[in-house]
Amino acid sequence: MSEDVTDLIMQDHREVETLFEKLELEPEVRAGLTPVLVTLLSAHSRAEEAEVYPVARDEAGEAEDVAHSQEEHLLADRLLAELSECDPYSTAYENKLAEVVDAVSHHVEEEEKTVLPGMRDRLDDARRAELGQAFLKSRQEHLGEMPQDITRDEMRRQAANADIPAGDKDKEALRRELDQHADS
């Protein structure tokens, strides 16, 4: 199995696409699979934000693409939290799932066109393997969490990735500030 962080990230993306398809086509699996989707994406995003985006910014010179990708994570987090509150048999669920699929598919496509190729070009194999280990470890620690479980420190990390000044804001103030930058 490849340990290259960019391959590991892309494996998760393909897994998420498979889950999207099931959730769209098979309403009977929604109650069981929605929490799986939400925690997988949430853990994936927290691990990227902690271990991958800071390196892509500082070592691969990708500040602008990382800031944009981070803003897309903010939107995805909000939509996933909303999806997890919807009755899986409701029209509201169908509409929210469509929003999640749109936002996340767009994000995945951009990340695979910008951030990941930049890391392959500018970081050597050993560094990408090292990041792969760090990504998996962090992802593992976050599996089971929902987007709402994010900590203040993790939100400060999001702000730094997106070039948003966090100052010494408390969690609620940070959430309001980050929400204003949630973008697709």
Q: Which residues bind Fe ion (CB under 5 A)?
A: 48, 111
Tell me the closest approach of the beta carbon of residue 13 to Fe ion, in angstroms. Answer: 8
d(CA 97, CA 85) in angstroms, rounded, equals 12
DSSP 50: I
- For the chain, the distance separating the N- and C-terminal CA atoms, rounded to the nearest angstrom, is 32
Task: Please identify, using beta-carbon distances, which residue of 48 and 51 lies nearer to Fe ion.
Answer: 48
d(CA 49, CA 159) in angstroms, rounded, equals 10
Tell me the closest approach of the beta carbon of residue 86 to Fe ion, in angstroms. Answer: 23
Task: Please identify, using beta-carbon distances, which residue of 90 and 113 lies nearer to Fe ion.
Answer: 113
Tell me the closest approach of the beta carbon of residue 44 to Fe ion, in angstroms. Answer: 7
Tell me the closest approach of the beta carbon of residue 115 to Fe ion, in angstroms. Answer: 8
Task: Please identify, using beta-carbon distances, which residue of 48 and 62 lies nearer to Fe ion.
Answer: 48
Task: Please identify, using beta-carbon distances, which residue of 88 and 164 lies nearer to Fe ion.
Answer: 164
* Contacting residues for 40 by C-beta, under 8 A, at least 6 apart: 12, 15, 16, 19, 143
d(CA 89, CA 103) in angstroms, rounded, equals 21
Task: Please identify, using beta-carbon distances, which residue of 52 and 164 lies nearer to Fe ion.
Answer: 52
Query: What sign for the dihedral angle of Cα 46, 48, 50, 53?
Result: negative
Tell me the closest approach of the beta carbon of residue 123 to Fe ion, in angstroms. Answer: 17
Q: Which residue has the tokens 């598919």?
A: 105
